[in-house]
Chain A
Amino acid sequence: MTLLTTSAQAAPPPPRPRSRFRLRKEAWVGWGFAGPFVAVFGLVFLAPIGYALYLSLFRDRLIGGTSFVGLDNYADALTDPRFWDGLLRVGLFLLVQVPVMLGIALLVALAIDSGRLYGASFFRVAVFLPYAVPAVVASLIWGFMYGTQFGLVGNVNDALGVTLPDPLSPSLVLASLGNIVTWEFVGYNMLIFYSALKVVPRSLYEAAAIDGAGEWRVVRSVKLPAIRGALVIATIFSIIGSFQLFNEPSILQKLAPNAITSDFTPNLYTYSLSFAGQQHNYAATVAIVMGVITAIIAYTVQLRGMRKG
């Protein structure tokens, strides 16, 4: 686990060798502090996952009841076009939306941190505000604005006599969703980057400044390397978030039922399998496969992100 190498390196090394006894005691105390988190985590994450693993080995049918099927569900999932189409779709979403969102967030964070903005603290608050808007409300607002009949797009069409493409048509709906997600989380990521920038030791800037480094130079050689940990972790959480895309499409589905199908994203697919189709076992299987894929990608990003430095 090298996720925190930068910070671990920043922390001073243990000052002196410790005795066996000290280590044993430290282990107990360490677990004592971490224990509550681990226990609750076990209850609300690991236990359901374990249960899902168990469920994934069975098949429950309306007629005929439950039977043990071994790994059949996994074989089905790996060849299920509805699952893979959804995965490709969120993969595409991820490749475009995450860089755009993190890029904007980083630029705003750097701009605020640079001290070259008028009204920097207002920016900081205002850009963060959308994060405080529940996904339900955000999707309702954007869903209204996207309306070509009576919404804002419709208003613009009427006012300018143009025909803007329908943001909720099948070809554009993914981009429209990306826009909502970007809107919701740009401020959140900005704040993470900004707070990481804030704890970069000022002495580093000073040293660079004394060396005569320009502003961009400081950004490239001091600021970005210093917040690499935050960049990587934000990327990882954004990747997980993209792969789990659910709230926004599920709410917009009412407005664009034909563009956002029930298997639009893997998470929507497991939801409809589980809830409309009562296929809990297969839903659990798809969720586990999805989790494994997501985790592999997240770990890869983390390893590469950390190695580059």
Chain B
Amino acid sequence: MTTTLTSATAGGPADAPRPTAARAASRTTVPTRRGRLPRTPLNPRPSIPLTLVAGLVLLYTLLPLAWLLINATKDQKGLLDSFGLWFADDVNLWDNITRTLTYDDGVFVRWLLNTLLYVAAGAGGATVLAVLGGYALAKYQFPGRKAIFAVVIGAVAVPGTALAVPTFLMFSGMGLTNTPWAVIIPSLISPFGLYLMWVFAAEAVPTELLEAARIDGSGELRTFFTIALPLLMPGTVTVLLFSMVATWNNYFLPLIMIKDPDWYPLTLGLNAWNAQAQTAGGEAVFDLIVTGSLLTIVPIVAVFLLLQRFWQSGLAAGSVKE
């Protein structure tokens, strides 16, 4: 259920079940002001033509995913023989999933756990750094403040592929290659996350509140944790979401840094399976690649759906602050 502002304002006929009385009561903290106005740009009625036009975009985004879902139900033969956008004669989804998870002593599960580790440490760390950094940029005057973001943009503009070798040599010198650190440390930087938190902190944390806390004698760290952080939560969840997706899909740097398949993330593992079909004596496992791809995106989609509630309600709360 993702009924917050949107469904409430839309009057919720097609959107989602109308909140029950009890639920509606429980959310009186989120005023649905738009609902009280007469029909104006703020309180429009749903439009069929607009929905149809947007539906074209929807079709475009979902078609390849439909292909993935359909083809994950096929065995190797069906994959190659049958029409791409329809099911083969027999549905092998469960069999495919089992084989994907057990192939090569269950290495897929190992890759999944690795990925979870990288996401937890990398995206979690990236969010922490971005929140701290964005808060500092928005709320403190310090020398070099204005230069930071300019340098970040400039550095991000240098193509990463050519920096891979220098980075590899450095990390190797520090003994970090072929360890989880080689994936986690670079994931800690999210330039976009920094930007987002900067903007968000500037809007969401009133400077007067911080000043008031200081006058009350609260230390800077305490002020941050007790006053700023709760206000920053919605933005934090957004940054966490983006960082998680980025870490989950991380491909190029692990490709350079990790040589031991025991430390592969899922993307590298799938790529290795793909390469298997291109090797003398290798076993072509296209069916496992397709099913593995599906299994790879399911968790991240699930996380997005779960997080979206916080994120959405957070944004709604942020939007009514004035």
Contacts and interface: CB of A to CB of B under 8 A. Distances in A.
A contacting B, Cβ–Cβ less than 8 Å: yes
Interface of A: 1, 3-4, 7-8, 10-12, 14-15, 23, 26-34, 36-38, 40-41, 43-49, 51-52, 55, 104, 107-108, 111-112, 114-121, 123, 125-138, 140-142, 144-145, 150-152, 155, 183, 186-188, 195, 198-203, 205-206, 208-209, 213-215, 218, 229, 233, 236-237, 240, 243-244, 246-247, 266-268, 270-271, 273-274, 280, 283-284, 286-288, 290-292, 294-295, 298-299, 302
Contact of B162 (A186, A195, A199, A286): A286
A284 B162 contact: yes
B267 A198 contact: no
A2 to B, nearest CB: 9
Contact of B318 (A23, A138, A199): A199
A129 B165 contact: no
B14 A118 contact: yes
Query: What 5 pairs across the A-B complex have the smallest Cβ distances?
Result: A287-B162, A30-B140, A291-B158, A30-B142, A33-B136
Contacts of B157: 240, 243, 290-292, 294-295, 298
A119 B150 contact: no
B251 A247 contact: yes
28 contacts: A7-B202, A15-B207, A36-B133, A38-B133, A40-B188, A44-B167, A45-B158, A51-B166, A51-B170, A52-B166, A108-B57, A112-B6, A115-B34, A116-B44, A117-B47, A119-B14, A121-B6, A132-B300, A134-B251, A136-B271, A137-B293, A186-B61, A198-B315, A215-B41, A283-B162, A291-B157, A294-B157, A299-B153
Contacts of A150: 80
A145 B7 CA distance: 36
Contact of A116 (B46, B57, B138, B186): B46
Size bin of chain B's contact surface: 35 or more
B24 interface: no
Residue among A119, A155, A186 with max Cβ neighbours from chain B (10 Å) = A119
A44 B132 CA distance: 18
Nearest to A151: B84
B114 to A, nearest CB: 14
Given A121-B15, A287-B158, A116 B68 contact: no
Contact of A15 (B185, B211, B274): B211
Contacts of A198: 315-316, 318-319
Given A123-B54, A246-B252, A214 B41 contact: yes
Contact of B51 (A3, A46, A118): A118
B2 interface: yes
A280 B256 CA distance: 14
B61 A183 contact: yes
Contact of B64 (A1, A123, A183, A286): A183
A161 B216 CA distance: 79
Given A132-B300, A215-B44, A23 B141 contact: yes
